[in-house]
Structure 1
Amino acid sequence: MPFGPFALQWRAPTPNPPSPSTLPPGITRTYISTPSGPLELLTALPSSNPTPSSSPPSPPPLFFAHGGFGSAAVWLSYMQFFSSHGIPCYALSYRGHGASWYPSLLRMYFTTRGAMGQDLVAGIKAVEGLETERRRAQEAVRVVLVAHSAGGALGQYVLGRGLVRVQGFCMCAAVPGFGSVSVYSFWSLSAPIHFPYRLFHPRYILATTPQVHAAFFTPETPTQLVRALERILSPYESMLWPMQTMFRFVTGGDVLASITGWGLRKARKVRAGNGDGVGTPASVPDRLLVLAAEKDVLCRPDILLDAAKRYRAAFRELVREGKVDGISSRDLRTESEREQEEDGDGVRFKVVRGLGHHLQNHEEWERGAKEILEWVETLKI
């Protein structure tokens, strides 16, 4: 293994933003202008045009937000999958990631969560404008935010402060907003060794293929897939951003209050085994999906189950306080129902079997995509 400093990149890329990579068919790249610099936005639109307002509702647009060291490109497979199902998709690269502009290493090292949040907000607002125009809508079209890892923490941060509103939020193997010290326990033994060896470089724990493999994938994952992800990881990262997620920064209710569309799902007919139509009662939609990966060593399923329970409790409290339009306490589940069902009270929790932290970049990435698709379909009802 080469001496640490020589395995790492210490300067911003040239040109800046870097020359963009080739994209697969059906995906285009544009740039969002911000006061700090241009941000990469990838787009995958379905082949059919949006339905007019008099028709059944079109699927909500998906906005993908990456985590630490990631980029918009980590979502390429998901974008192709969802756009093939008629759902418009967008993915952003924050500053210092993908084909967006890059601060210097030192400046990036001390970039705050607030600054990264500004990039996320800029991306979401830009997509709201694009989708509103594309659909010729009278009101702003809200996105469904799908955010991975530390990007999930960033999503909770901007929602909790009311900087944007969305019509659904998927925490995809995401760092919870209730404190994340346990997320980083995987590196607790190796970090003291690698940190000085890499001379305080932000990517000291992900400098080699085995390190990336161990943190982001399962042991069975082919090495070529790990290297494919390595090629699109950012050369350095903010260290202040993840440090600001170590301790609780949301209450739960503040995040849920920035999610729209909580009114009861309409009662509908489903087909019984004998062919008769059976009525299902109106229900509270699960507009927050907490998606865990079974083999994740960072955002472990037990950590995310705890987050889901905290959000359910926060939702019930909002309802009791009369802060959720169209829903009252009698619409919530009873205590016995909560013991029998994993989903409900506004929050769905699912575990994707057999995958690690970067579930969207595994060979079996469709497993997670199908869970999200099933959830997104419920948001149209």
Structure 2
Amino acid sequence: MCIPTTYSSTTSTTSTTSTMPFGPFTLQWRTPSPNPPPPSPLPNGITRTYINTPGGPLELLCALPATPSPRPKPPLFFAHGGFGCAAVWHAYMTFFAARGYACYAISYRGHGASWYPSFWALFFSGRAAMAQDLVAGVREVERREGGRVAKGERVGVVLVAHSAGGALAQWVLGRGMVRVEGFCLLGGVPGFGSWSCYTFWAHQLSTPLNLLYYCFHPRYLLATTQQVHSAFFSPATPLSRVREFERLLSPYESMGWPLQALPAFVTGPDVVQAIGGWKPRGGAAGVAPRFLVLAAELDVLCTPPVLRDAASRYRDAFPACVRAGKLDGVSEGDVRDDEDWDGVTFKVVRGLGHHLQNHVEWERGAEELLSWADNL
């Protein structure tokens, strides 16, 4: 069930903040008040509704095409990563809606304008809890878009997931909690183990003082503009852009969610077989890719080599799924045994860092995603 928003405030407010017992940082420990917090203004063409869940309302942003596309295009569902929210997708949503795609983005509990658990309740929330919110978002999009397809047909959502949201999406797909018509792991944490994605922060956890900070507040690693800049953006990104982005970050975060993604939690075929709509390109051209792994050249967290390794593992999983008869419409004769990646494709966006959708040059990543989506 979707509840229209009635908020009119322009900024989020919190009841109080607490200063760390030592050090220069002031970090938020209490839940926002009111809860959910008043939402921020939206760009033209984007609307906000709420999904009613047992825990509380979840923010869902929507951008619809102004005019119908000549050919039906699947809806795009954007899933954010740690400390993110639906608003990190504003630019992409506007961009794709102008090109005929219905676009949706969710904020999980404790993020954006969704409901907030208490600090410790969110701190100890595990992956399964966050996954409930992601699944609720996909189900709501399927419901809303159901009127655009013939009766009895399933709505084919294309899932685009970033950073730790990518790990969450792979876990959801691998367990068959949802099926999609395409999946883009956009600067996403791989499901084959993610220790290497956090080595960038290892030096900040190397002293007892820093470790104490980390144990008490997850936002410590992103407490200053410089920390956010170095982790999420390219060195050339203006600080003004980073400060604008900082306002979108959640005040505290779940630690169970990323910690559970450190060891491998997918096999490869389990995720691939949750994607539908596979079809041969025709002739000797192979199978059209419905799985895109998109890396940012200057990403210091989910680096291009890490994501290329993930793409390679999923590429190996693709023929295994075909042999097992898990992919409707594709036979073993459709699969080529060469370096052309049937079913799975890997791209690197030049000059951008981890939050490639929030850079000044965000269009570079959007164009790569559009090129892939237009061929689904």
TM-score by length of 1: 0.90
Q: 2:89 aligns with which of 75, 79, 87?
A: 75
Q: Are 2:286 and 2:336, in contact at CA under 8 Å, matched by a contact in 1?
A: no
The aligned counterpart of 1:350 is: 347
Matches of 2:91 and 2:117 in 1, distance apart? 28
Aligned partner of residue 177 in structure 2, secondary structure: coil
> 1:194-223, CA deviations, whole angstroms, 9 ceiling, x for partnerless residues?
332466111110011000001001111000
Report the alpha carbon displacement of residue 49 of structure 1 after superposing the two structures with TM: 3.5
- Distance (Å, rounded) in 2 between the aligned partners of 1:84 and 1:137: 27
Larger displacement relative to structure 2 (61-70 or 188-197): 188-197
2:274 equivalent to 1:231: no
Matched, 1:310 2:313: yes
Q: Which has the higher contact order (CA 8 A, sep 6+)?
A: 1
Could you say if the C-alpha distance between residues 231 and 257 of structure 1 is closer, same or farther in structure 2, counting changes exceeding 3 Å? Answer: same
Q: CA RMSD in A?
A: 1.7
Question: Does structure 1 conserve the Cα–Cα contact (< 8 Å) formed by 2:293 and 2:347?
Answer: yes
* One of 145, 152, 161 as aligned partner of 1:147: 161
Is contact 2:356–2:362 with CA below 8 Å preserved after alignment?
yes
- Say if 2:277 is the partner of 1:261: yes
- Candidates 137, 147, 163, aligned match of 2:177: 163
Question: SS at 1:190's partner residue?
Answer: helix
> What SS does the aligned partner of 1:204 have?
helix
User: How big is the shift at 1:228?
Assistant: 1.1
Asked if structure 1 preserves the Cα contact closer than 8 Å seen for 2:183 and 2:291, the reply is: yes
**Residue of structure 2 equivalent to 1:242:** 258
Report the Cα distance in structure 2 between the residues aligned to 1:4 and 1:237, rounded to whole angstroms.
20
**Matches for 1:259-298 after TM superposition, within 5 Å:** 259-265=275-281, 267=282, 281=284, 283-298=286-301
- Specify whether residues 365 and 50 from structure 1 end up closer, same or farther in structure 2 by C-alpha distance, changes over 3 A only: closer
Cα deviations by residue, 1:38-82 (Å, 9 ceiling, x for unpaired): 00000000011466xxxx4x1110000000000000000000000
Q: Distance in 1 between matches of 2:151 and 2:371?
A: 25
Task: Tell me if structure 1 keeps the 8 A contact 2:276–2:327.
Answer: no
1:195 paired residue number: 211
> Pick from 14, 35, 42: which aligns with 2:61?
42
Aligned partner (choices 112, 115, 120) of residue 126 of structure 2? 112
Specify whether residues 158 and 199 from structure 1 end up closer, same or farther in structure 2 by C-alpha distance, changes over 3 A only: closer
Show the counterpart of 1:26. 45
SS at match of 2:105: strand
Aligned-partner Cα distance in 2 for 1:97–1:8:
16
- Which letter maps to 1:99? A
Quick one: distance in 1 between partners of 2:216 and 2:180? 37
Kept in 2: contact 1:195–1:204 (CA 8 A): no
Q: How far apart are the structure 2 equivalents of 1:281 and 1:317?
A: 19
1:113-128 alignment, distance < 5 Å: 113-128=127-142
**Residue of structure 2 aligned with 1:326, choices 321, 326, 329:** 329
How far residue 281 of structure 1 moved from its aligned partner, in angstroms, is 4.7
What is the CA distance between 1:324 and its match in structure 2? 2.0
CA drift of 1:318 comes to 1.3
CA distance, structure 2, for counterparts of residue 37 and residue 322 of structure 1: 40
Map Cα deviations across residues 269-299 of structure 1 (whole Å, 9 max, x no partner).
Answer: xxxxxxxxxxx65531101000000000000
Change (3 A) 1:199 1:161: closer
**Per-residue CA shift, 1:81-129, capped at 9, x if unaligned?**
0001011100000000000000000000000000000000000000000
Secondary structure at 1:75 match in 2: helix
Give the superposition deviation at 1:192.
3.6
| Ranges in structure 2 where 5+ consecutive residues have no aligned partner | 1-18
AA aligned opposite 2:243: R
Bigger CA drift: 314-323 or 40-49? 314-323
Q: Percent identity?
A: 63
Q: How far, CA to CA, are the matches of 2:348 and 2:276 in structure 1?
A: 25
Q: Write the deviation string for residues 8-66 of structure 1: whole angstroms up to 9, x where unpaired.
A: 00001010000000001000000000011100000000011466xxxx4x111000000
* SS class of match (2:375): helix
Q: For residues 95-106 of structure 1, what are the structure 2 equivalents within 5 Å?
A: 95-106=109-120
> Are 1:60 and 1:143, in contact at CA under 8 Å, matched by a contact in 2?
yes
Q: How many residues align?
A: 355
Tell me by how many angstroms 1:134 deviates: 4.5
Output the CA distance in 2 between the equivalents of 1:250 and 1:203. 28
One-letter identity of the residue aligned with 2:265: F
Alignment partner of 1:219 is 2:235? yes
d(CA) in 1 for partners of 2:117, 2:294: 32
- 2:14 equivalent in structure 1: none
